[in-house]
A and B are shown apart, each in its own frame.
Chain A
């Protein structure tokens, strides 16, 4: 052993000033360690490993999100120029401008940012649990299950529960069927994907049945919701998804390290002391709740959960589910997709779910082709 200094070619060593707060004081592999507080005897209370690249990627995502957010707020039938925007915020705009900003665009933006983040984190968790980029909630039947639950609540047995609660129940029912269907719970990643696809297909069949049997008006309303839309969101929607994220994102962050280890195989994870089954079940519950919350405020918007974590993972070149990067990426994707849905074709406004489904479908095809090639080789 060459002592602790052997690895510190570019940074100070761990023997550095541990009393300082917020200092980067050690090097662990290619990563940096940020330490906070604590004396020399007890050590810092916080020592978190940080890779420089994901931090940079997150900053870029946030910058993009800021630009897209400004566009969402400023562009529209009732244009508010960037110069005017602060004034309208401060209450100096016209009544029409204030209505457009506070009642229409801000809630829409808030839901897009938060739901995008929620979908993406749920996707990151599921892709980690299934050890498969295809294992997102969209593909393994969670979105379809939520849709079926919503259809059941709104059309088949109206009046029992509200549509969003129906969606959450549907998502839990779908994941329960997946859990039972694999025969080995969540410990069989490949079976989860296969069973999930079957559960998704059955859920969609149920949705079709419900739509066919329903009256035209209510069917149309539900059909729009099932596509996923950010139109006419209210502040209440922002609060729902905001509270859900505030609780569930820290939970997802706390589970990140155990999930990283579980990705390396159940035996190895058990060997280093991870309670694999318990933490995996907990992670799935967090992901289902995130998906349920997001679906309840904007419908099952397709493929954000599939694409955002993978884009984040490629860009950060990270070797595990990066929750923060995935969340930032999901927020950017949904805000940008919403802009495209509103303004790409003049005079035609799509539901945002159509745009994400179109773009995500292309990505899904790419993934499938790659998987086939890998199997064929």
Chain B
């Protein structure tokens, strides 16, 4: 049984994982950052990948997003090798919110979000009623409808991140990849962004996010993947896998785990003073 099939074990029959890697080897110039990784994203999950700096979590997301080519191994989309699919075909099924996209000068929110429709369009058929509906839905889902005619350059950081998310949503995909979506936001906007992601998950999308903050990951993830040195150390529902031993082993941080007083999810409290 392949990794992709295992993800569905326990569900009805065998469900193929929407996104999986098999024997993945990822390397920049020197030694591999990830060396022979198997991982399957459960269908319908909000999967969050965490780990210390340099553990390979962002590199794993790059493999999923096709922004970096694996040195060996395969990335599987619904069980099919992703390399066999055309770029636009993949982009109709996976959307990516990259870490630092560049907003063009003098572009309005509406025009920016509309660019997310590219994979659904042709050389000569560049706009359709379906495109208009998807853009409306994306603006509504991210509460950016009233920003439509504003210039992206005039927006605050939190608004801008919601607009980028809207562009990814306009792609109208089952899967959404988020590369540290909270990095440049203040704490209130971090929770706003994660709450938004959580809603998108509840509405039926499968999300894969890389996050820095373990407590935010524990609060919002339905499936947590903990990585260290290019390998998966633990994965599962946060409340099942987060232990003091794990945090100590992976992050080198002595900690106590208590139930989050708001959500009941595990809360990591550093035991250093």
Contacts and interface: CB of A to CB of B under 8 A. Distances in A.
A261 B118 contact: yes
B4 interface: no
A340 interface: no
B106 A254 contact: no
B91 A47 contact: no
B149 interface: yes
A146 B206 CA distance: 52
Contact of A317 (B103, B106, B137, B149): B106
27 contacts: A1-B140, A2-B136, A7-B110, A29-B109, A29-B111, A44-B125, A45-B124, A47-B128, A48-B126, A254-B123, A261-B118, A263-B104, A265-B100, A265-B101, A267-B98, A267-B179, A268-B101, A268-B102, A270-B67, A271-B65, A271-B91, A271-B94, A271-B96, A271-B168, A272-B116, A273-B118, A318-B106
B107 interface: yes
B148 A7 contact: yes
Given A274-B118, A319-B104, A26 B132 contact: yes
Interface of A: 1-4, 6-7, 13-15, 26-31, 33, 43-49, 131, 254, 257, 260-261, 263-268, 270-275, 317-320
A134 to B, nearest CB: 15
A146 to B, nearest CB: 30
Scoring B67, B95, B100 by chain A CB atoms within 10 A of each residue's CB, the highest score goes to B67
B66 interface: yes
Given A30-B149, A49-B126, A264-B103, A272 B132 contact: no
Nearest to A278: B87
A30 B179 CA distance: 30
A257 B126 contact: yes
B115 interface: yes
A273 B101 contact: no
Contact of A2 (B113, B114, B140): B140
Nearest to B88: A273
Contacts of A31: 111, 114
B98 A265 contact: yes
Given A46-B124, A264-B104, A272 B129 contact: no
A40 B92 CA distance: 24
A141 to B, nearest CB: 25
Contact of A29 (B66, B89, B108): B108
A4 B129 contact: yes
By Cβ-Cβ distance, the 7 closest A-B pairs, closest first, are A273-B91, A29-B110, A271-B96, A319-B107, A267-B98, A14-B129, A273-B88
Contacts of A48: 124, 126-127
Given A26-B129, A131-B102, A318-B106, A271 B124 contact: no
B73 to A, nearest CB: 19
B136 A30 contact: no
Interface in B110-150: 110-111, 113-116, 118-119, 123-129, 131-133, 135-137, 140-141, 145, 148-149
B148 A265 contact: no
A320 B108 CA distance: 12
Scoring B92, B127, B177 by chain A CB atoms within 10 A of each residue's CB, the highest score goes to B127
Contacts of A131: 102
Given A1-B137, A272-B119, A26 B127 contact: yes
B99 interface: yes
Nearest to B92: A273
B127 A49 contact: yes
B118 A43 contact: no
A45 B109 CA distance: 27
Contacts of A15: 129
B182 interface: no
A28 B104 contact: no
B265 interface: no
Contacts of B98: 265, 267-268, 271
A30 B92 CA distance: 25
Contacts of A2: 136, 140, 145
Given A4-B136, A270-B66, A320-B104, A261 B96 contact: no
Contacts of A30: 108, 110-111, 149
A1 B224 CA distance: 31
A180 B202 CA distance: 48
Contacts of A45: 124-125
Contacts of A6: 136, 145
A274 B67 CA distance: 11
A263 B106 contact: no
B255 interface: no
A271 B125 CA distance: 20
B65 A1 contact: no
B131 A273 contact: no
B132 A273 contact: no
B90 interface: yes
A301 B102 CA distance: 32
Given A1-B136, A28-B127, A273-B92, 8 more contacts: A33-B127, A45-B124, A45-B125, A46-B125, A268-B101, A271-B98, A272-B91, A319-B105
A312 to B, nearest CB: 13
A186 B98 CA distance: 20
Contacts of B108: 29-30
A29 B114 contact: yes
Nearest to A279: B87
A272 B97 CA distance: 10
